[in-house]
């Protein structure tokens, strides 16, 4: 690669491979590898938050190969141009490369137009820096960006006949050590989840008895990353880890800014060197995935905008304590189809029960997550806009705030839209006298739930909150293999 005195990439002529000098790699194989790289590279760009990708190339065969590999052009298109070099000055910041090292071959493509989420378009960034570099490395494509605004470091599978095995990643190191992460409920099978819940019951009983001899976390430290503040998450993790002999370190929004002040991959590696486990409560779900990918110690998802698995484990523990079982019950969630709903749906893809989400039109949960739960074929899943019908026969009625953190500017609008979705005494009467009320807290009393419902005898909100600590302790014990 050539760089000008200003540090900007100076475009070179496209070098096509000659049939001789390519070692064992045939030209046909190379063309296939490049075509795969283009398609996978565009797909990977989308996975990092890009909504639509248009690519410019001077090669007709790549356009054909792209069309052969996908008939869905809603997310992007490959466009033929006679001379990509002539466009280099205009599109210099919008390109990626394909490099095949064994053949000393490289190809360059220019991104014509990319729509990105609004948060990338700040005053500090005149236009989103979308430099993507694809290196054809040992059965994978590696994407990275030298900018600190858009972090792209991801491996995607690439089928090619001439490439060797992939380089080991932090995830491989973790797997070899027998360590796991807790990112999604559905990452575990039913037997494992129930085993964790049984362990939670045992550890809770020990703590309640006052016995402090059980110290499995003695000598261990936990880093707690809080991009989103939370009383319950901090106290439950910190106290729980301490009661079992460990030491927890709080890192608030001003202490650590993953992806802004420091790249997530660097944070993951540094904290892995100091600690035995990492818990993170973040906004973007990709942040927790990246953290787990680069950390060499277990990572626990304390919450993302997509899901909240530790909360649902505490909920499941609470239900088992009060009802006696989780399987076969009816859980009705009333409110916004948010990260809590996604976690319930993921649980329903592993453990069989009846789950209903009653929410206003336009506030339904993620469609792909609903499909995942339904396709598992073990639970009855319903999404409805009629809360009064939904709660009939419920064993549990569940609620959450209508405007989560980061949505407060929509609070007034949401209050109007969600008026019919308040959990009040009348709604609980429709559910029946045996129905329990649950809420993950914090609650806005008088908004999504009335004071009378929270304080009613069948409200198990506060045992539910306490069980966060016990469920999380059991999760960490499982991740450590203790």
CA–CA dist 216, 206 (Å, integer): 13
CA–CA dist 91, 115 (Å, integer): 15
Per-residue CA distances from 191 to 105, 301, 384, 422 (Å)? 50, 20, 30, 35
Q: Let me know the angle formed at the C-alpha of 231 by 229 and 233, rounded to the nearest 5 degrees.
A: 80
CA–CA dist 463, 85 (Å, integer): 66
The Cβ-side half-sphere exposure at 307, using a 13 Å CA radius, reads 26
CB burial of residue 324 (10 Å; 0-12, 13-18, 19+): exposed
* Look-up of token digits 């014509």: 112
Q: In the chain, what is the straight-line distance between the N-terminal and C-terminal CA atoms, in Å?
A: 50
CB burial of residue 274 (10 Å; 0-12, 13-18, 19+): exposed
440 given a catalytic annotation: yes
CB proximity list for 325: less than 8 A, separation 6 or greater: none
Contact 169, 472 (CB under 8 A): no
Tokens representing 315 are 């909920």
CA–CA dist 292, 307 (Å, integer): 15
Q: What is the DSSP string of 207-220?
A: HHHT-----TTTT-
Q: Which pairs with CB-CB distance under 8 Å and at least 24 residues apart come from 368-371?
A: 369/342, 369/345, 370/345
Q: Which of 22, 103, 357, 440 is catalytic?
A: 440
Structure letter (DSSP) for residue 15: B
* Look-up of token digits 């430099």: 131
Sign of CA dihedral 116, 119, 120, 124: positive
Contact 292, 299 (CB under 8 A): yes
CA–CA dist 75, 53 (Å, integer): 6
Report residue 450: phi and psi, to 5°. Answer: -85, 160
Tokens representing 428 are 């609980």
Question: What is the set of active-site residues?
Answer: 440
């Amino acid at each position: 690669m050539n760089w000008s005195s200003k540090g900007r990439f100076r475009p070179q002529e496209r070098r096509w491979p000659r049939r001789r000098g390519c070692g064992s790699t045939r030209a046909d194989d190379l063309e296939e590898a490049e075509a795969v790289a283009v398609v996978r590279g565009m797909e990977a760009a989308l996975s990092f938050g890009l909504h639509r990708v248009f690519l410019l190339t001077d090669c007709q065969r790549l356009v054909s190969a792209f069309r052969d590999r996908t008939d869905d052009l809603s997310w992007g298109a490959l466009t033929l141009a006679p001379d990509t070099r002539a466009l280099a000055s205009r599109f210099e910041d919008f390109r990626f490369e394909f490099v095949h090292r064994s053949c000393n071959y490289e190809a360059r493509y220019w991104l014509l137009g990319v729509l990105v989420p609004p948060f990338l378009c700040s005053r500090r960034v005149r236009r989103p820096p979308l430099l993507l570099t694809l290196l054809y490395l040992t059965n994978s494509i590696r994407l990275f960006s030298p900018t600190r605004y858009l972090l792209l470091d991801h491996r995607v599978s690439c089928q090619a006949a001439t490439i060797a095995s992939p380089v080991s990643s932090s995830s491989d190191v973790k797997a070899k050590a027998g360590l796991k992460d807790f990112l999604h409920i559905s990452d575990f099978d039913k037997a494992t989840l129930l085993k964790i819940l049984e362990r939670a019951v045992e550890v809770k009983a020990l703590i309640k008895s006052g016995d402090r001899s059980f110290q499995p976390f003695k000598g261990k430290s936990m880093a707690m990353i809080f991009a989103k503040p939370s009383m319950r998450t901090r106290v439950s993790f910190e106290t729980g880890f301490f009661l079992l002999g460990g030491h927890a370190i709080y890192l608030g929004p001003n202490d650590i800014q993953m992806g802004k002040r420091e790249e997530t991959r660097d944070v993951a590696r540094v904290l892995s060197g100091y600690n035995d486990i990492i818990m993170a409560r973040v906004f973007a779900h990709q942040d927790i995935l990246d953290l787990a990918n680069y950390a060499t110690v277990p990572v626990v998802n304390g919450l993302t905008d997509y899901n909240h698995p530790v909360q649902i484990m505490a909920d499941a523990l609470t239900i088992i304590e009060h009802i006696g079982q989780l399987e076969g019950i009816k859980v009705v969630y009333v409110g916004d189809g948010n990260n809590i709903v996604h976690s319930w749906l993921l649980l329903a893809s592993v453990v069989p029960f009846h789950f209903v989400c009653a929410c206003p039109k336009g506030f339904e949960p993620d469609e792909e997550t609903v499909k995942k739960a339904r396709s598992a074929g073990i639970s009855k899943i319903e999404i409805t806009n009629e809360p009064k019908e939904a709660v009939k026969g419920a064993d549990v009625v569940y609620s959450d705030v209508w405007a989560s953190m980061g949505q407060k500017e929509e609070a007034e609008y949401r209050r109007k839209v969600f008026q019919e979705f308040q959990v009040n005494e009348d709604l609980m009467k429709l559910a029946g006298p045996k129905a329990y009320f649950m809420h993950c807290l914090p609650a806005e009393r008088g908004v999504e739930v009335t004071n009378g419902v929270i304080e009613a005898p069948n409200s198990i909100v506060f045992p539910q909150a306490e069980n966060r600590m016990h469920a999380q302790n059991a999760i960490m014990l499982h991740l450590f293999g203790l």
